Amino acid sequence: MNTTDTLQVRFRAVTYEADGILSFELVPMPPLKALPAFTAGAHIDLHLPNGLIRSYSLLNNPQERHHYLIGVNKDAQSRGGSRYLHEVLRAGDTLTIGAPRNNFPLDEQAPMNVFIAGGIGITPMMSMIARTQQLGRPWKLYYAARSRRNAAFLDALHGYHNDPNVELSFTFDQEPDGQRMDLAAIMKTLPPEAHVYCCGPLPMLTAFELAAAGLPPAQVHLEYFAAKESAAAEGGFIVELARSGKSVAVRAGQTILDSLLDIGIEPPYSCQEGVCGTCEVRVLEGTPDHRDLVLSNAEKAANNRMMICCSGAKSAKLILDL
């Protein structure tokens, strides 16, 4: 299955995990017996009947092919994705999903993994933890939530409590005597060979990037849920599509994706915020103005691929492999 392919699944169960957080079990529909394989840290796109496409991390053990599990926080700022899942979707419903993609992979050679999660940012860590356990490597988890009632999967995590390879640390900052997670202090305790992974709200990721600035970049991994900066919408350049031979002028106020949709071309896309990687396209000529949070700095510097939902152009023309 290609990363752009889709399939139909059935929602078999919806489970309360914490205040505002539900988990959903997705199973294959006949004749399919198994779902596509995935790696720890991967996500899938849900194509919702209301037209939205939303990405959610897979939280179950990557060895499992009989189901996928996702955890969904009912976001107060929801643009319709999490609200639909919480309020409309019912067990038994079917839905189209995209094949798993992974922008936040676990380094399977790392001698030790340290996971730092804030709120619903725990979801990709759950599959990473399952895989790290399978690999028999030591790991630590630092998990911050407002309170125990808002923290999903606590029971499952407490199940690791007596494992000598595991260290668990929970921070509930809105409980009496609660404190905020001290990322700088955590970084000082890391063994030099540790790989550190962070997923959570924007302020936490910003603080993490600062705190981890002294670590070797290859050992630092993070995943954003939302954009950090606005999309490039200055316009004023031409996009040429190498495969179809078409070209389009990207006007001020538009992204490249907007301009393509305007002329009836619909490339794959999902988040439209530069965080999911669905709209990635190869750049054959020209210099992109990268605004995404998917590509690493080295990948951005190579200028041979870009996210067209949010990145623009520094050159007068871009030639894309579309």
Query: Which of 146, 296, 318, 165 is CA-nearest to residue 232?
Result: 318
Compare residues 142 and 269 and give the one whose CB is closer to ligand FES.
Answer: 269
Residue 233 burial class via C-beta count within 10 angstroms: exposed 0-12, middle 13-18, buried 19 and up? middle
Selected binder of ligand FES within 307, 313, 318, 320 (CB under 6 A): 307
Selected binder of ligand FES within 269, 291, 300, 306 (CB under 6 A): 269
Binding piece for ligand FES, criterion CB under 6 A, among 131-139, 186-194, 246-254, 276-284: 276-284
* Cβ atoms 125, 141 nearer than 8 A: yes
Selected binder of ligand FES within 157, 207, 222, 276 (CB under 6 A): 276
Give the number of residues written for the chain. 322
If one asks whether residue 309 binds ligand FES (CB under 6 A), the answer comes out as yes
Selected binder of ligand FES within 28, 100, 267, 274 (CB under 6 A): 274
Scan for tokens 């009836």, then name that residue. 264
CB of residue 292 to ligand FES, shortest distance in Å? 6
The interface with ligand FES within residues 287-306 (CB under 6 A) comprises 292, 294
If one asks whether residue 279 binds ligand FES (CB under 6 A), the answer comes out as yes
CB of residue 55 to ligand FES, shortest distance in Å? 7
* Cβ atoms 167, 194 nearer than 8 A: no
Compare residues 85 and 271 and give the one whose CB is closer to ligand FES.
Answer: 271
Query: Which of 248, 249, 247, 229 is CA-nearest to residue 290?
Result: 229
Q: How far apart are CA 23 and CA 65, in angstroms?
A: 17
If one asks whether residue 267 binds ligand FES (CB under 6 A), the answer comes out as no
Q: How far apart are CA 271 and CA 52, in angstroms?
A: 9
Compare residues 132 and 278 and give the one whose CB is closer to ligand FES.
Answer: 278
Q: What is the CA radius of gyration of the chain?
A: 20
Interface with ligand FES (CB under 6 A): 269-272, 274-279, 292, 294, 307, 309
